Structure 1
Amino acid sequence: MSQPAKSARAPRGAATESRGVKGPKAVQDPHENVPGSAGSRRAAAQRLTMRRKLAAAAMELFARKGYEATTVDEIAAAAGVARRTFFRHFRSKEEAIFPDHDDTLVRAAGVLDAAPPHENPLDTVCRGIKEVMRMYAASPAVSVERYRLTREVPALREREIASVARYERLFTRYLLGHFDESAHHVGDDDPLLAEVAASAVVTAHNHVLRRWLRSGGEGDVEAQLDHAFAIVRETFGTGIGAGRSGAADAPAASVRTEDEVLVAVARTDAPLGDVMRAIEKALKKN
């Protein structure tokens, strides 16, 4: 399973165009590449700005001339940069219309890394993939046009599928990390549940995203996503971890009915989401 994508290096300074003519030697800021420094954040922002500029040029040309008829040179020229600048940011023209996936993958990984210790891992994964939806929702018109292009051009559709697979691997690895993957004894279904649950979260996200894009980017897509995740949690949330010793005898929360009163009993370390879902499920039955 591949590791989360690391932030790409900041773009190098523009080289002197004329061959044989050396420009002045650049003086590097000693804080420029320190993670989290102002220089690092500034370089990352400049990198993303340029990637989006190239992506916008590529999408405009693809829509006007067609994907096959558009060249990298034309994309670079439309963005007002040299061909070599294009290749500092993208390896191919089909990659150019997905400028945010690398950075979004890093942000999603950051959500997983900073998760509270008692949060249900499935809830953490749901929060992580919301970073992907926010990437699309930030520019609805661009996302709708990109969706149209990916449906028409096989190379772009394959690129999008490959990007989705990276998220799924990230979330699967995170869920598996909460269990003893080597304990494949009879009755331990955690590794299977982890992979199925990760796939379910990604599938729910993609289902909501496609529906939103087909509607022209209209509606509260995050509310739709929360509804889809509630279904995934209800299906898989209580099953993950059931194969671990003592987990089946000590559920995070249990609810019973006494006359017209619901009584909930929960472990002190039970995630709030698990407690609320147990209560909600009991209320629906009554």
Structure 2
Amino acid sequence: MSQPTKTARTPASSQRLKMRRDLAAAAMELFATKGYEATTVDEIAATAGVARRTFFRHFRSKEEAIFPDHDDTLERARAVLDAAPAHEHPLDTVCRGIKEVMKMYAASPAGSVERYKLTREVPALREREIASVARYERLFTRYLLGHFDEAAHHDGDDDPLLAEVAASAVVTAHNHVLRRWLRGGGVGDVEAQLDHAFGIVRQTFGTGFGASRGETTGRGGPAARASAQGKVLVTVARTDAPLDEVMQTIERALRQS
């Protein structure tokens, strides 16, 4: 079982994140009382007790201010990918990576629900949210593409397409569960709901994923090999091979027999 990834945080980075959150809280308070359009950057800075220039050291615009944690969360997701065990299926790694986003929302359910309501009402905020989601999708697509053998690519090879679609599917599954959880007031076991959604994605896109390079256990050899000999299927697997990889190997051998 892989260990939880921890991202080292310096006093300076912690202070920066705290200031971003303070500015975000001030922005949310003003948006709720005055309305988004009527609120100015100067008012947000004043409510947070800082100067206007301090606001712009942290955010480029007032719509960006209500998403203070995405930069930090993106780095945590990247750290999950970087520390992934060699035997883990790349799609499972990506699912673990995007859980960092869910943790961000789940850390403050009430605030997340209010932010969700606000983004539904203000097009500029919705556009900012979409831009944030696209950053995660690009990160995961690059990761999945990195687990294919570029030398094996040829005309008609669907591996790059599969990587992009699979990354999109993981993000879409996450966002579907997140929106449903937020519409329900931020209550319920959202992690269990997320795992169920990821199971569907894994079942749809996991079989044959990365077949061009073979599945490995991290010990330098294949996790499992299977071959059909007449009416007999012979399977050889390492004792540490993940069960789902063994089953996928058997399924592929049966289809080819």
TM-score when scaled to structure 1?
Answer: 0.74
Query: Where does residue 194 of structure 1 map in the other structure?
Result: 163
Are 2:210 and 1:235 equivalent residues in the alignment? no
**Of 164, 185, 194, which aligns to 1:216?**
185
Are 2:126 and 1:157 equivalent residues in the alignment? yes
Alignment deviations for residues 41-66 of structure 1 (CA, whole Å, 9 cap, x no partner): 11111111110000000001011111
Task: Quote how far apart the aligned CAs of 1:84 are.
Answer: 0.8
- CA–CA distance in 2 between the matches of 1:206 and 1:63? 24
Alignment root-mean-square deviation, CA: 2.6
- CA–CA distance in 2 between the matches of 1:108 and 1:57? 27
- CA–CA distance in 1 between the matches of 2:16 and 2:87? 36
**Of 67, 75, 83, which aligns to 1:114?**
83
Are 2:130 and 1:130 equivalent residues in the alignment? no
* 1:189–1:243 Cα contact (<8 Å) kept: no
- CA–CA distance in 1 between the matches of 2:19 and 2:50? 10
SS in 2 for 1:93: coil
Query: Where does residue 100 of structure 1 map in the other structure?
Result: 69
Query: Measured at CA, do residues 171 and 252 of structure 1 come closer, stay the same or move farther in structure 2, by a change above 3 Å?
Result: farther
* 1:193–1:239 Cα contact (<8 Å) kept: no
Query: Measured at CA, do residues 189 and 79 of structure 1 come closer, stay the same or move farther in structure 2, by a change above 3 Å?
Result: same
- CA–CA distance in 1 between the matches of 2:20 and 2:213? 46
- Partner AA of 2:139 in structure 1: L
* 2:223–2:245 Cα contact (<8 Å) kept: no
- Which consecutive aligned stretches of 4+ in structure 1 deviate over 3 angstroms post-superposition? 181-184, 243-247, 250-254, 263-279
Alignment deviations for residues 164-217 of structure 1 (CA, whole Å, 9 cap, x no partner): 000000000000001134643245321111111101000000000000000000
Unmatched runs of 5 consecutive residues or more in structure 2:
1-6, 217-221, 227-233, 251-257
Query: Measured at CA, do residues 228 and 264 of structure 1 come closer, stay the same or move farther in structure 2, by a change above 3 Å?
Result: farther
Task: Quote how far apart the aligned CAs of 1:242 are.
Answer: 2.6
SS in 2 for 1:143: helix
- CA–CA distance in 1 between the matches of 2:18 and 2:44? 15
Query: Measured at CA, do residues 246 and 156 of structure 1 come closer, stay the same or move farther in structure 2, by a change above 3 Å?
Result: closer
Alignment of 1:1-286 (within 5 A): 41-181=10-150, 183-186=152-155, 188-244=157-213, 252=224, 266-267=237-238, 270-272=241-243, 274-275=245-246
Query: Where does residue 3 of structure 2 map in the other structure?
Result: none
* 1:112–1:128 Cα contact (<8 Å) kept: yes
Rg bigger for which structure?
Answer: 1
SS in 1 for 2:10: helix
- CA–CA distance in 1 between the matches of 2:99 and 2:225? 26
- Partner AA of 1:124 in structure 2: T
Query: Measured at CA, do residues 206 and 278 of structure 1 come closer, stay the same or move farther in structure 2, by a change above 3 Å?
Result: farther
Query: Measured at CA, do residues 118 and 107 of structure 1 come closer, stay the same or move farther in structure 2, by a change above 3 Å?
Result: same
TM-score when scaled to structure 2?
Answer: 0.83
Query: Measured at CA, do residues 94 and 246 of structure 1 come closer, stay the same or move farther in structure 2, by a change above 3 Å?
Result: closer
- CA–CA distance in 2 between the matches of 1:75 and 1:51? 12
- CA–CA distance in 1 between the matches of 2:97 and 2:118? 26
* 1:120–1:271 Cα contact (<8 Å) kept: no
* 1:62–1:70 Cα contact (<8 Å) kept: yes
- The sequence identity of aligned pairs, in percent, is 83
Unmatched runs of 5 consecutive residues or more in structure 1:
1-34, 255-262, 280-286
